[in-house]
Amino acid sequence: YGLTDWSALRRLAVRQLESHGMPVDPRRRAGDLGASDRRRLAIIKAVAAEASLIILDEPTAGLAAAERLHLLEWVESLTQRGTSFIYISHHNDEVRQLCSEYTVLRDGKVTASGKAAEPSAEAMARVITGADVAEFHRARKDHGAAIELSGLSFSGGGPVDLAIGHGEIVGLVGLLGEGPQELMRALGGLLPIEAGAVLIDGREARLGSPGQSLGSGIAYLTHDRIGEGLVGSMSVTENLNLGNWPLSLGWLVSGAGMNRRMREARGAMEIVMGSGAQEIGELSGGNQQKVLLGRLLERKPRLLLLDEPTVGVDVAAKEQIHRLIDDATKEGVSMLLLAQDPEEMQRLVDRVVIFSKGRIARMLRGAEITIDAIAEARAAR
């Protein structure tokens, strides 16, 4: 009679999930799963449909290091079962680990192809960008305290005591749920602060919502630019000015002011686009990220919260974003950084704060800040 046999569907779902090492209750809402499990679920659906080819577009973007490794290992196991993939990624290490062959597209044309294991990371970067990409490394220096977290407790952690200097970048490291992400979101007004205070130049900041955080001089660059940072149906110009509209006569939104700000940001941040009237979704990930970063920097924040600032961007855009971040620190902007790539963190930060069970366990300074030390701290339990 055309009725759906829900019991049979649940049994089928259980078999598929368990066969792929994902024993999740099929009645659970997909939106309640973690990011890694949601991506695995999407791939399992394609495998169950007997797809002959599955296209994965940046499947590890925004995942924690352990989640990323788990997903890569699982995809590799699927290839051994005979599933074929086209794997789109800006991470050369992922391409080398998973892929048999690579093809590089630039401006819609094939510029190179070959065995994935052959080119070095530097050679691959040259092929992707069409030029040598100079790696950026910040010079570390001492800073006078500008931001103070005093006995700060929040949903998922605390109390935390931390002073952040003028123009200093402090990296936050810890396992998922151990405190770094929760601290960032609490400071950004996305999680409640339960106790303690945040002092900016000695004055207590009012936090409790994203608007209050921005009003206090704290800006949050989310790892999810499409879901939380940008409005896909709006133009590039509208997204750049969102929440900070230039006014004329004290109350009218100034179109001329919006366009002037767009021209200035386009030049300063090297945003590649056709025009400011384009929908933001038509831009590459790197250019979308520059628009989002430009919008936050336009507000002249005292503290900028960087949650995976180069997630899903290409090699050249990553270097440009690193330089924009460094330029902002020279203007006195203090920053907290979350980055799953230990090399990125090592290149950018002045200090590393390591969290365990919601609290600061120890710090790395100066010569202690190495890629291996950061990776070990992230893996420690």
**Domains in the chain, start-ordered, CATH in brackets?**
6-99 (3.40.50.300), 145-379 (3.40.50.300)
Task: State pTM to two decimals.
Answer: 0.77
Per-residue pLDDT of 270-326, as tens digits, reads 999 999 999 999 999 999 999 999 999 999 999 999 999 998 888 888 999 999 999
Per-residue pLDDT of 245-274, as tens digits, reads 887 767 788 899 999 999 999 999 999 999
* Tally: H helices and E strands in the chain: 13, 16
According to the model, what pLDDT value does residue 252 have?
Answer: 85
Give CA–CA dist 84/81, Å, rounded. Answer: 9
| DSSP assignment letter at 279 | B
Q: Cis peptide leading into 159, omega within 30 of 0?
A: yes
Instruction: Report yes or no: 344 and 135 within 8 Å, Cβ to Cβ.
Output: no
Residue ranges in the chain assigned as alpha helix (H): 6-19, 35-48, 65-80, 92-98, 121-129, 180-187, 210-215, 236-241, 255-269, 285-297, 315-330, 342-348, 371-379
Q: What is the four-CA torsion angle of 14, 17, 18, 21, rounded to 10 degrees?
A: -160
According to the model, what pLDDT value does residue 1 have?
Answer: 57
According to the model, what pLDDT value does residue 287 have?
Answer: 94
Q: 282 is written with which tokens? A: 């038509």
| Low-confidence residues in the chain, pLDDT < 70 | 1-2, 62, 64-65, 129-143, 249, 380-381
> How much of the chain exceeds pLDDT 70, in percent?
94
Q: 136 is written with which tokens? A: 């950026």
According to the model, what pLDDT value does residue 281 have?
Answer: 93
According to the model, what pLDDT value does residue 315 have?
Answer: 83
